């Protein structure tokens, strides 16, 4: 077996001196094999390639120095510490250790030579280094120093840089350049100016003194390109497999389509009609539809999904509509009921809260096919849920689910060799760079037109010091028989504290606005309680709704034209944009007030400024990706969807067109290179497309 094939199976336990405790610590970093070590890149470098004479050392310098120990003692005064003084003939330096052992003190004998690296600073006795990285050297070794920069790696508690550097050196030595296979054909590497893989890895782990930033960047991009390529290949292969599978033929007769449109209390926009035509073309093929429908908040995605559902029902198939929260699932259920029940469709709603007889009866109706359209939360893909003939799966806010969950629902619908069609919806516009990779298995439709009557939301940014002025404005707003949202954002990543803050805010606002009907809704309330409050607000029985970000999706109250978002600097642009989309749904002016806690950081000022200047969801999405990265943007820490070891879409997204070209070349001309690339980069955790 070649080294290239053995890298991911060559375990770190085989390295000399690596015991159980070290293995446990390496495991916390996700380091299990030689291959893992090679792709665990430094976060920065230290220049230890030249010695600084002690006499030239100045506070603030990060320097490599050498000297002979003159004294080592534990001073009787002040905080207990070990102090050691070294000298080199040009000056002297104090080394101070607050954490030390008796053995350490015993080895710092006068006359011993030390080599140290650290930051010089002013100390009690003069210039000192606190807890420098040091080693004992023989006097004959003085002046013999490293010729490459010293890497600084991401660590975990109990693991030392020296240990990791030694392991990485061993990994590099165990797999020389001629054995580490480049699975990307050389002509592509040369066209992009990329070095061979081993060369890139060696440069990043052991860069020579004086190396240029361009060289390091090129080596990093070489690895990022290969990682992006592996992800793209994984999705492309999955998509190709899907296209070879069969799906039921779904058609909605024109008479039923016209009847459906007549039941709607509004006319479809041109964009909605265009997307419906794209979906109809997909459903008319005997291959599974895999389509992502993007549309800004309020653009009318749900009615498009209802049309697709009706096409499935008209073809004797069931439909599953899955939403990320009970609030949104319930709203979809109400909308589908309003539009489809007049046409004789029987619907069912299933959520985790359903227990006992209600749950049993719902499951029976689904299994027997009596429930044609089934709406709910993630409860839909639980094992007990059996469909008679599932022809279409609709998933709203895809990024809030793991890809595994989406595929699990698809597998549930497989019957007689037929897979259900998939329609994915999101109100979070996906930047092109992210769509090219994270959603490469999906065709994309965009609803880029808002329904008539949607008014632009005027956004303003004010400091919290203007809170009294804002409260007066709310009083005037309510006198005009308009309603208000007041959103309290997350505090210290704690739902308990968030709800507590919302309760305090509701109490304070009720006291400040005695004539205003104030209610509260938050994530820790029981579903029935939330539903009752939201129903009251929608019915106009509540003037001011204080809420956590639980209202981000799914609430439609046309009379609510003013939203205050407290501490907006805590949220990302995409989430703020979705919250803002709750207003502007009815006649009259609509406003969103972003009330921040001064002082604002430069990054927060930039984010809030973008939101004030544009209401274009795609511009906002691109900026959000640029500022926060794909993990934050998609919430992938929860979903496990697009997580990279080296690539960064905001930095490396410009390479995706080339990634696509190389992927097509590999699949066509070098199919045997695909599997090793996937194994190198995706292993088990990333191969969601192989489900």
**254-293 core/surface letters (b: 16 or more CB in 10 A; e: else):** eeebeebbeeeeeebbebbebbbebbbebbeeeebbbbbb
> Average pLDDT in the 450-460 region?
81
Q: Report the percent of the chain where pLDDT is more than 90.
A: 52
Residue 629: the pLDDT is: 58
Distance between CA atoms of 447 and 275, rounded to whole angstroms? 7
pLDDT (tens digit, 9 = 90+) per residue, 67-116? 999 999 999 988 899 999 999 999 999 999 999 999 999 999 999 999 99
Distance between CA atoms of 222 and 182, rounded to whole angstroms? 11
Assess whether pLDDT exceeds 90 at residue 594.
yes
Torsion-angle region of 629 (φ positive above 0: left; ψ -120 to 50: alpha; else: beta):
left
Q: Can you state the angle between helices 326-340 and 254-263, rounded to 10 degrees?
A: 110
pLDDT (tens digit, 9 = 90+) per residue, 513-556? 999 999 998 877 887 788 788 889 988 999 999 998 766 545 67
pLDDT (tens digit, 9 = 90+) per residue, 246-284? 999 999 999 999 999 998 988 999 999 999 999 999 999
Q: Are 320 and 305 in contact (CB under 8 A)?
A: no
Residue 5: the pLDDT is: 44
Residue 154: the pLDDT is: 92
Q: How many CB atoms lie within 10 A of CB 633?
A: 27
Pick from 160-169, 314-323, 387-396, 530-539: least confident? 530-539
Residue 596: the pLDDT is: 93
Strands (E), 158-289: none
Q: How far is CA 337 from CA 157, 306, 331, 458, 612, in A?
A: 55, 10, 10, 33, 37
Provide the pLDDT confidence category of residue 1 given band limits of 50, 70 and 90. very low
Q: Are 320 and 392 in contact (CB under 8 A)?
A: yes
E strand or H helix that includes residue 3: helix 3-6
**298-336 core/surface letters (b: 16 or more CB in 10 A; e: else):** bbbbbbbbbbbbbbbbbbebbbbbbbbbbbbbbbbbebb
> Average pLDDT in the 575-585 region?
84
Residue 686: the pLDDT is: 40
E strand or H helix that includes residue 511: helix 495-512
Q: Are 81 and 129 in contact (CB under 8 A)?
A: no
Residue 269: the pLDDT is: 93
Q: Single out the residue of 64, 63, 57, 111 nearest to residue 86, CA to CA.
A: 111
- Which CATH superfamily groups domain 50-145? Nucleic acid-binding proteins (2.40.50.140)
Q: What's the mean per-residue pLDDT of the chain?
A: 86
Residue 406: the pLDDT is: 63
Q: Residue 429 burial by CB count (10 A; 0-12/13-18/19+): exposed, middle or buried? A: buried
Residue 273: the pLDDT is: 96
> Average pLDDT in the 365-374 region?
93
Residue 564: the pLDDT is: 96
DSSP result, 209-239: TT--HHHHHHHHHHHHHHHHHHHHHHHHHHH
Residue 433: the pLDDT is: 67
Q: How many CB atoms lie within 10 A of CB 176?
A: 11
Considering only the C-alpha atoms of the chain, give the largest distance between any 2 of them, rounded to a whole number of Å: 99
Residue 399: the pLDDT is: 56
DSSP state of 430: P
Provide the pLDDT confidence category of residue 225 given band limits of 50, 70 and 90. very high
Q: Are 272 and 283 in contact (CB under 8 A)?
A: no
Residue that has been written with the tokens 């950081």 in this structure:
601
The yes-or-no answer to whether 254-447 and 457-614 have a common fold is yes
Residue 630: the pLDDT is: 54
Mapping DSSP to helix (H, G, I), strand (E, B) and coil, where does residue 39 land? coil
Q: Are 147 and 49 in contact (CB under 8 A)?
A: yes
What are 614's two structure tokens?
């544009």
Q: What is the CA radius of gyration of the chain?
A: 31
Provide the pLDDT confidence category of residue 690 given band limits of 50, 70 and 90. very low
Residue 487: the pLDDT is: 93
Assess whether pLDDT exceeds 90 at residue 654.
no
List the chain domain ranges. 3-45+154-211, 50-145, 254-447, 457-614
Provide the pLDDT confidence category of residue 510 given band limits of 50, 70 and 90. very high
Assess whether pLDDT exceeds 90 at residue 299.
no
Instruction: Please identify, in words, the CATH class of the domain defined by 457-614.
Output: alpha beta
Instruction: For the full predicted model, state whether its pTM sits above 0.75.
Output: no
> Average pLDDT in the 418-435 region?
80
- Which CATH superfamily groups domain 254-447? P-loop containing nucleotide triphosphate hydrolases (3.40.50.300)
Q: Report the percent of the chain where pLDDT is more than 70.
A: 88
Q: Please, what sign has the CA dihedral across residues 636, 638, 644, 650?
A: positive
Q: Are 282 and 249 in contact (CB under 8 A)?
A: no
pLDDT (tens digit, 9 = 90+) per residue, 151-160? 999 998 889 9
């Amino acid at each position: 077996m070649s080294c290239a094939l053995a890298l991911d199976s060559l375990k770190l336990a085989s390295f000399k001196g690596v015991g159980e405790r070290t293995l446990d610590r390496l495991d916390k970093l996700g380091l299990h094999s030689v291959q893992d070590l090679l792709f665990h890149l430094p976060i920065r470098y230290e220049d230890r390639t030249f010695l600084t004479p002690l006499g030239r050392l100045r506070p603030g310098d990060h320097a490599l120095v050498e000297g002979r120990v003159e004294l080592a003692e534990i001073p009787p005064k002040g905080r207990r510490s070990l102090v050691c003084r070294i000298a080199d003939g040009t000056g002297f330096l104090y080394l101070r250790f607050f954490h030390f052992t008796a053995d350490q003190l015993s080895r710092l004998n006068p006359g011993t030579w030390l080599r140290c690296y650290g930051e010089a600073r002013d100390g009690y006795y003069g210039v000192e280094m606190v807890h420098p990285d040091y080693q004992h050297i023989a006097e004959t070794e003085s002046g013999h120093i490293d010729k490459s920069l010293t890497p600084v790696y991401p660590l975990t508690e109990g693991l030392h840089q020296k240990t990791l550097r030694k392991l990485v050196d061993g990994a590099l030595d165990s797999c020389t350049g001629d054995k580490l296979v480049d699975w990307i054909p050389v002509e592509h590497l040369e066209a992009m100016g990329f070095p061979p893989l081993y060369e890139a890895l060696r440069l990043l782990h052991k860069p020579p003194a004086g190396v240029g930033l361009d060289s390091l960047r090129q080596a990093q991009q070489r690895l990022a390109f290969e990682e992006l390529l592996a992800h793209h290949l994984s999705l492309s292969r999955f998509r190709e497999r899907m296209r070879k599978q069969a799906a039921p033929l779904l058609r909605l007769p024109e008479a039923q389509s016209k009847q459906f449109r007549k039941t709607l209390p509004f006319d479809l926009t041109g964009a909605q009609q265009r997307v419906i035509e794209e979906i109809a073309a997909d459903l008319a093929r005997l291959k599974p539809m895999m389509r992502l429908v993007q549309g800004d908040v309020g653009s009318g995605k749900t009615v498009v999904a209802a049309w697709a559902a009706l096409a499935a029902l008209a073809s004797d198939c069931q439909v599953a509509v899955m939403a990320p929260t009970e609030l949104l699932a319930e709203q979809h259920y109400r909308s589908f009921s309003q539009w489809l029940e007049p046409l004789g469709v029987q619907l069912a709603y299933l959520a985790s809260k359903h227990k006992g007889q209600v749950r049993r009866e719902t499951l029976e109706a689904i299994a027997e096919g009596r429930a044609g359209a089934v709406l709910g939360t993630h409860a839909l893909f639980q094992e007990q849920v059996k469909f008679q003939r599932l022809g279409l799966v609709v998933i709203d806010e895809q990024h809030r689910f793991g890809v595994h969950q989406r595929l699990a629902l698809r597998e549930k619908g497989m019957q007689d060799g037929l897979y259900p069609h998939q329609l994915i919806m999101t109100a979070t516009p996906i930047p092109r760079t992210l769509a090219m990779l994270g959603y490469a298995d999906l065709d994309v439709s965009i609803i880029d037109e808002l329904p008539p009557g949607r008014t632009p939301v005027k956004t303003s940014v004010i400091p919290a010091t203007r809170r009294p002025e804002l409260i007066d404005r709310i009083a005037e707003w309510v006198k005009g028989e308009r309603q208000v949202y007041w959103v309290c954002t997350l505090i210290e990543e704690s739902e308990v504290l968030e709800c507590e803050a919302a309760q305090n805010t509701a109490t304070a606002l009720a006291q400040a606005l005695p004539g205003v009907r104030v209610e509260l809704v938050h994530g820790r309330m029981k579903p029935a309680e939330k539903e009752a409050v939201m129903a009251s607000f929608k019915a106009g029985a509540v003037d001011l709704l204080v809420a956590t970000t639980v209202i981000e999706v799914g609430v439609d109250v046309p009379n609510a034209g003013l939203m205050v978002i407290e501490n907006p600097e805590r949220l990302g642009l995409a989430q703020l944009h979705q919250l803002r989309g709750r207003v502007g749904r009815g006649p009259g002016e609509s406003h969103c007030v972003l009330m921040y806690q001064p002082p604002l950081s430069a990054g927060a000022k930039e984010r809030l400024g973008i939101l004030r200047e544009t209401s274009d969801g795609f511009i906002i999405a691109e900026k959000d990706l640029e500022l926060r990265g794909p993990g934050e943007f998609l919430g992938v820490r929860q979903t496990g969807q697009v997580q990279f070891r080296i690539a960064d879409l905001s930095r490396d997204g410009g390479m995706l067109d080339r990634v696509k070209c190389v992927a097509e070349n590999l699949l066509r001309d070098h199919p045997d290179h695909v599997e090793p690339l996937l194994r190198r980069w995706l292993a088990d955790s990333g191969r969601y497309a192989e489900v």
